[in-house]
A and B are shown apart, each in its own frame.
Chain A
Amino acid sequence: DAGVTQSPTHLIKTRGQQVTLRCSPKSGHDTVSWYQQALGQGPQFIFQYYEEEERQRGNFPDRFSGHQFPNYSSELNVNALLLGDSALYLCASSLLWLAGGINEQFFGPGTRLTVL
């Protein structure tokens, strides 16, 4: 089992550019969540995808968008990059659970984005 995989590992962009990050969930998982971890801080929830729809969203602007494909893999897109978007972007996969249940989130190694 390959676990959660993310690509690329590192990425350098300039302000104003657009970026796409990719995530493949752990085998058998159908839900993907994205988190942003700025340097020296804890991860912050961006959004979550299940059945190819955005199910929950954190406090991030519309410049952050995503997509989930029929094979459950996901993309995170960020438009009009700002210096403050520099961070480690973590993908996590799980099984969607209804209220009252819990399923562990498995995290990938992350993509480190640097905006110059």
Chain B
Amino acid sequence: AQSVTQLDSQVPVFEEAPVELRCNYSSSVSVYLFWYVQYPNQGLQLLLKYLSGSTLVKGINGFEAEFNKSQTSFHLRKPSVHISDTAEYFCAVSPTKAAGNKLTFGGGTRVLVKP
């Protein structure tokens, strides 16, 4: 079984400031890792994913994340946020050696970008 913990439920940040969203996971098997964004009244959109290889992953909209296997973490960062980044962000994992795409999500981090 897998579990995902997002350590911050809300993160207020000023426009053009950097932001980091923390994600830790627990799993008895190897997993793929994902970050999704959910804008108000919309579904989830994939920001980035880690499958294998380089531990630094770049995604859309200037976001990047770093996989740390020893700390079982997958923190998301953006060097300079915009008002339009106000949204809820979800970290998720999926087992690598299982058919299907079952995702286990964390509880989410709400990012509020202030002018």
Contact = CB atoms under 8 A, between A and B. Distances in A.
State whether these chains interact: yes
Interface of A: 4, 31, 33, 35, 40-45, 48, 50, 55-56, 58, 90, 92, 94, 96-100, 102-105, 107-110
A44 B107 CA distance: 10
Q: Which of A33, A45, A100 has the most CB of B within 10 A?
A: A45
B105 A56 contact: no
Contacts, number: 76
A107 B45 contact: yes
Interface size of B as a range: 20 to 34
Contacts of B42: 109
Contacts of B90: 42-43
A97 B108 contact: no
B10 to A, nearest CB: 11
B100 interface: yes
